[in-house]
Amino acid sequence: MSEKGSFNTKKRIKSIKWSAIMNVFCTFAL
């Protein structure tokens, strides 16, 4: 159960990290 929880946390961190990267990319692109 804890393994699944950590997996979900990693997934969430990855999505947050990707959204942040995309925000920076869009900022520099514009």
Domain limits, the chain? 1-30
Question: 5 pLDDT band (50/70/90 cuts)?
Answer: confident
Residue 1, pLDDT > 80, answer no
pLDDT at 30 over 80: no
3-state secondary structure the chain: CHHHHHHHHHHHHHHHHHHHHHHHHHHHHC
Buried b / exposed e along 8-23 (16+ C-beta atoms within 10 A): eeeeeeeeeeeeeeee
Where does the pLDDT of residue 2 fall: very low under 50, low under 70, confident under 90, or very high at 90 and above? low
Q: Which of 28, 1, 4 is nearest to 20 (CA)?
A: 28
Cα–Cα distance between 9 and 1 in angstroms, integer?
Answer: 13
Mean pLDDT score across all residues of the chain: 88
Percentage of the chain beyond pLDDT 90 is: 57
